[in-house]
Structure 1
Amino acid sequence: MFSKIRRFWNQFFRKSRKVNNEPLNKASLFVIIVIDIFILINVFTGLNDISRWHISPQQAYPCYSEWDNYRKSTTADKDYEIIHNSLFIVDAFRTRQESYKEVEDRQLGEVSETCLQYAQYQDQINIPQNSQILQNIEQKEREVSQFEQKNQSIRSQYDSTLLDKIAGQSPGQSINTVGAEKAKQELDQNNQKISTLKQEIANLKKKLVATPESINFLDFLQADSNFNPLAANYQKASFWYPSIQFAFQSLFLLPLILIALFVHNFAQRREYGLVSLISWHLLVIFCIPLLLKVFEFLQFGVLFSFLVDIFNTLLGGLLFLISYIYILLIPVLGFAIIQLFQKVILNTKAQAVRRVQNSRCTNCAKKIRPHDTYCPHCGSYQYIECPSCHTLTYKYLSYCHHCGTAQDVTPDI
């Protein structure tokens, strides 16, 4: 296994640095690297764009998170808080329902009808009368905050004023703005005002929650028949979304890989060295993101979720064991990919067959005479000794052309 991997990497780097088995000069290699980087950046940009072509679960169910937080909340003011949030205008020129639905015009998929109905209830709440109540609440909350700040300032000086009084210092010489008696009186007055304002705020909140629009919205939120199907659909969409993204990303990459492979094989057959080199680099660039996305899919896609469910059921949630599976699975998958490359792209045997048929050097692919033992261009030896009949036969070919015995076609790299 390790020898095959070593041969694969040797062939890989040889094909990446040579034209017709001749090394690239530094200037040409620099140009190739710049092109590689530019194309790789654009490939990842295209992958990012196409991965967002299908709407995400958050876009398909935009109300789920807010709705779920409301149902899980245990605060006393949760009804007011969600109505308060509904009164904030997302866009002055569009309703919430329109802003939710707009995503369907740019991407594949549909927004949940339940969320559209949710947005419709929010739009019904967002009327001038309710907005005025909210403004009154916020104004009174600001007043409460101002009184509390004044009290805090007075309390920070209160201990000092007592010391001043004990020491017999005259009020004109004190560094404090108020005396002890006056400070106590002002604190009591401010506390009374704060208490009154808080009661008014509570009444306004009750008034806002008790409006017909708010009641209809809250009834809709509290109905399990609305939320439970929404939650199930959201979880299902979240489960399949990584697989959908991977499918679209593969759809983007596979045509590029097939075109690069076709051009590379065509250039190899015609011995177009520079075209072969460039198409080889493109093939590698297109395969790198695909491999990364395959591994990402294995880590976060349907297979990962399936394994999590199995381990939760059978082993009581020992999820760390999944890491063992991936530690074993990834090398096996990598070995399978290398084998595929060896047979399809880095196939020395197929390359040698074409070169022998065209009277070319099996190493550098340049034209030689049919019976040349060594290539006059690169000095490569063209034959090997057959282990059966001990006569010379073509290098890298599967069978001896004298006795037909199978040959070891392992490249001597």
Structure 2
Amino acid sequence: MFARVRRFFNQFFNNYRRINNEPLNRVSLIVIILVDIFILVNVFTGLNDISKWHLSPSQAYPCYSQWQAYRTGTNKDKDYNILKELLLYNKSNQSSQKQIYQETAAEHIGQVSPICLQYAEYVDKINISQNQQAIKTIDNRQAKISNLQEANNRIRAEYDSTLLEKIAGQSREQSINQVSAEKSKQELEKNNRNISQLVKEISNLKNELKLKPESSIFLTFLQNNEKFGQLEQGYKQASFWYPSIQFAFQALFLLPLIFSTLLVHRFSQRRRYGLVALISLHLLVIFFIPLILKIFEFLQFGVIFQFLYDAISAIFGSLLFLVSYVYILLIPLIGFGIIKFFQKIILNPKLQAVNRIQKSLCVKCAKKIRHNDTYCPHCGYYQYVECHNCHDLTYKHLPHCKHCGSLQDGSEL
């Protein structure tokens, strides 16, 4: 078994560096390596682009994150905060929220959730100049409160220093503060009155904004448990299937490249187009590298992983490290199955020998040889084996002797 694997890799690397059994010179080898790198980069670029072809969960359900944040928020002022977040200060030259959602869907496969489109309609109704001006007015009032609070902090620092000077009996002329304690106290009281007035004005403006018909309808919509439940279920389902959809599109990108390159490689081998066979072999390796990586990525993040994760979570609770144990067992079994499949079906020497002998090809390298050649002139492989019954030479890997028809024991197969 190990000898066969070693022979396979030796033959592969020899073919990978040779044209018609002649070694590549250094310049040609460098050129091929540069071509390999260029194609590999473009393959990964294409895979990245096609993986974004379908709408992602966040694109199909663009309102989910904001809505969930609102639902889980504990701030008593969360109604105003979400209105403020959705209102744009400058709406000129901007599409409506619904148009933005629809434009995103137009560039991808899939559709935006109807619930999010309804959400966007409510947002567009809220996003008018009067409401934007209300937000600006509230922010201006809040900025004035911040300025007054800063002034109060500065006055308190000076006031405390003035009181200490007064207690110490220091004269007013020797004070380092320009304002007396009495005047500082008056300023503090005046600023506090202004702050209280501004806070009331802000509270009234917020209430007016929340009680407007368009705002009230939107907030009622956000508090609809049934709608949010449908949205959350759709988002979770999309998140569950999205890695599998990405893998399907990436496989759709790679498989035509692999099959077409494989056909070119086999054709060039039959016609003995050495350079074409070499380049196509390199391309096959380049196309298989990202395919293998994407298969492992799918196994780690796709439906299979999610199924195991959910099953172990349901049965064993928080013992999620058991997923790793399952993968450690599962991946070798999958690899074993793939090896058996290729050994028994795809790359089975017995099946390959039947087709190659009928076409007068070498049993090993599949290159054209004459009918009576004992050794392949291309790879030097011995084509025959002695029949255990009549002791004449018969073809390797075939089940019966071509002279006496006796069944071979399979020792040389």
- Tell me whether the two structures share a fold, i.e. TM-score over 0.5: yes
The CA deviation at 1:171 is 5.3
State the distance in 2 between where 1:129 and 1:400 align. Answer: 95
State the distance in 2 between where 1:170 and 1:289 align. Answer: 85
The CA deviation at 1:386 is 3.9
- Name 1:202's counterpart in structure 2: 203
The 5 Å alignment of 1:262-341 reads: 262-339=263-340
The CA deviation at 1:227 is 1.8
Return closer, same or farther for 1:385/1:116 CA change in 2, 3 Å cut-off: closer
The CA deviation at 1:178 is 4.0
2:387–2:393 CA contact under 8 A, matched in 1: no
The CA deviation at 1:192 is 2.4
Return closer, same or farther for 1:203/1:28 CA change in 2, 3 Å cut-off: same
Q: 3-state DSSP class of the match of 2:288?
A: helix
The CA deviation at 1:362 is 5.5
C-alpha deviations, 1:382-404, integer Å up to 9, x for none? 36764846766667777766676
The 5 Å alignment of 1:8-407 reads: 9-88=9-88, 92-165=93-166, 175-176=176-177, 178-339=179-340, 350=352, 354=356, 358=360, 370-371=372-373, 375=377, 380=380, 382=382, 386=386, 388=388, 405-407=408-410
State the distance in 2 between where 1:277 and 1:174 align. Answer: 93
The CA deviation at 1:199 is 1.6
Return closer, same or farther for 1:313/1:381 CA change in 2, 3 Å cut-off: closer
TM-align CA RMSD = 3.4
Q: 3-state DSSP class of the match of 2:93?
A: coil
C-alpha deviations, 1:115-141, integer Å up to 9, x for none? 111111111111222222111101001
1:267–1:273 CA contact under 8 A, matched in 2: yes
Q: In the alignment, residue 147 of structure 2 is paired with which amino acid?
A: Q
Calculate the TM-score normalised by the size of structure 2. Answer: 0.85
Q: 3-state DSSP class of the match of 1:74?
A: coil
Bigger Cα displacement from structure 2, 138-147 vs 263-272: 263-272
Calculate the TM-score normalised by the size of structure 1. Answer: 0.85
Q: In the alignment, residue 315 of structure 1 is paired with which amino acid?
A: F
State the distance in 2 between where 1:105 and 1:220 align. Answer: 26
State the distance in 2 between where 1:302 and 1:50 align. Answer: 19
Return closer, same or farther for 1:91/1:271 CA change in 2, 3 Å cut-off: farther
C-alpha deviations, 1:257-302, integer Å up to 9, x for none? 1101111121222222221111111112112212222111111111
The CA deviation at 1:174 is 5.0
Return closer, same or farther for 1:150/1:344 CA change in 2, 3 Å cut-off: farther
Percent identity of paired positions between Structure 1 and Structure 2: 54
The CA deviation at 1:355 is 8.3
State the distance in 1 between where 2:153 and 2:93 align. Answer: 39
Q: 3-state DSSP class of the match of 2:117?
A: helix
The CA deviation at 1:38 is 1.0
State the distance in 2 between where 1:8 and 1:294 align. Answer: 24
Return closer, same or farther for 1:159/1:385 CA change in 2, 3 Å cut-off: farther
Q: In the alignment, residue 275 of structure 1 is paired with which amino acid?
A: V
Structure 2: any 5+ residue segments left out of the alignment?
A: none
Return closer, same or farther for 1:216/1:364 CA change in 2, 3 Å cut-off: closer
2:353–2:363 CA contact under 8 A, matched in 1: no
1:269–1:354 CA contact under 8 A, matched in 2: no
The CA deviation at 1:365 is 5.2
State the distance in 1 between where 2:8 and 2:148 align. Answer: 77
* Alignment coverage as a number of residue pairs: 408
State the distance in 2 between where 1:47 and 1:244 align. Answer: 13
2:209–2:215 CA contact under 8 A, matched in 1: yes
C-alpha deviations, 1:215-270, integer Å up to 9, x for none? 11111111223222222222222211121111111111111111011111212222
State the distance in 1 between where 2:21 and 2:411 align. Answer: 22
Structure 1: any 5+ residue segments left out of the alignment?
A: none
2:353–2:398 CA contact under 8 A, matched in 1: no
Q: 3-state DSSP class of the match of 1:145?
A: helix
The CA deviation at 1:143 is 0.6
Q: In the alignment, residue 326 of structure 1 is paired with which amino acid?
A: Y
1:21–1:363 CA contact under 8 A, matched in 2: no
